Amino acid sequence: MRTAVARGSTAVTLEVRVSNVGAQALYRAFGFAPAGVRKGYYADTGEDALVMWAHDVHDLAHVARVTALAAGVPGTTVWERS
């Protein structure tokens, strides 16, 4: 999200398996809300994907919320570009 905001984005979207309720809860905590379903999205199982959006990600309150939440998630994010 930080990269998206730095590039001028005001909204971010993602897809998550409808069965992955744990990930959905995490994404909700980061400001994402369900917006639709992509039927048969995952080729390996034919499972549907829940489309989620986070709007106003550039808003200072949202940035502060995400920063605080991210600080509580263990581990390190590594970006690799090929």
Break the chain into its structural domains and give their ranges: 2-68
79 or 67, greater pLDDT: 67
* Active-site residue, from 15, 41, 42, 47: 15
Query: With bands split at pLDDT 50, 70 and 90, how would you rate the model's confidence at 68?
Result: confident
Q: Is there a catalytic annotation at residue 41?
A: no
What percent of the chain has a predicted confidence (pLDDT) above 70?
Answer: 93
Helix (H) or strand (E) holding 21, with range, is: helix 21-29
Q: What is the model's pLDDT at position 82?
A: 55
Q: What is the model's pLDDT at position 77?
A: 66
Q: Is there a catalytic annotation at residue 15?
A: yes
In contact, 62 and 2? CB cutoff 8 Å: no
Which of 3.40.630.30, 3.40.50.880, 3.40.50.300, 3.50.50.60 is the CATH number of 2-68?
A: 3.40.630.30
Mean pLDDT score of the chain, rounded to an integer?
Answer: 89
